[in-house]
Amino acid sequence: MLALGGLAFAVIADEATEGETHVFDRAILLALRVPGDPDNPVGPPWFELAVSDITSLGGYMVLTLIVASVAIYLLVAGKWRNAVVVAGAAISGSLLSQMLKAGFARPRPDLVPQLAEVHSMSFPSGHAMVSAVIYLTLGALLARFHQRRRHKALVMIYAVLITMLVGASRIYLGVHWPTDVLAGWCLGAAWAALWWLIAWRLLRE
């Protein structure tokens, strides 16, 4: 996952930088708006509100509260190595996301009105990347406490599902190009895999 995620991110980044993904990005964004009325996303009004709620699961404040709560619980429970993994993955993933945004400096989509407030560059999607890092890392740690494979699989399915929903919500709201989200997912998964390796090393000592 580490190798494949990193490679996929590099390919997407190269194509996006050269403008090769513009047709794909444009087609997806327009497909999510009412034909002839780009101000209105497809679907009923309640769906837009639901998507706005989902996207908040990848917001920095929500993720910070989740990570802080989990880390404090693990410390109180005497599992300081687990706490280090959770906090390390979250902080390093967030910093990497911000550095990449500044480096690529890709503007936000202007093809359709943005339905959420944003203040940073577009590539890669911070919501998609950091959500992948945090939810997949938490999922992997939680799965360790289950013995049955189906329970482990269920935990990871939920982690992946939340990550996918958060990323997809950014496209629906028009604040990211689809390739921003794809790149965020790929690099976030790779970064989570890196921290899985670190956790494996720390927790076996």
Q: Which of 88, 176, 98 is nearest to 133 (CA)?
A: 88
Q: Which of 17, 9, 40, 44 minimizes the C-alpha distance to 174?
A: 40
The model scores a pTM over 0.85: yes
Residue whose pair of structure tokens reads 């989902």 in the numeric block: 54
What is the reported pLDDT for 124? 93
Q: Does 204 have pLDDT greater than 70?
A: no
Cα gap 45→24, rounded to integer Å: 26
Q: What is the pLDDT of residue 4?
A: 92
pLDDT tens digit string along 9-41?
999 999 999 889 999 999 999 999 998 888 889
Q: What is the pLDDT of residues 124-172, one digit of tens each?
A: 999 999 999 999 999 988 887 777 888 889 999 999 999 999 999 999 9
Q: In angstroms, how far is CA 156 from the centroid of its own chain?
A: 15
Distance CA 146, CA 171 (A): 34
User: Would you give the distance in Å from CA 3 to the centre of its chain?
Assistant: 18
pLDDT in tens, 60-114: 999 999 999 999 999 999 888 889 999 999 999 999 999 999 999 999 998 888 8
* Number of folded domains that form the chain: 1
**Count of beta carbons in the 10 Å neighbourhood of residue 90:** 23
CB 115 within 8 A of CB 52: yes
The one catalytic residue among 119, 127, 146, 151? 127
Q: Which two tokens stand for residue 202?
A: 């720390």
176 is catalytic: yes
Token couple for 45: 């009004």
Could you tell me the residue range of the domain that residue 111 belongs to? 2-203
Q: Integer distance in angstroms from the first to the last C-alpha of the chain?
A: 24
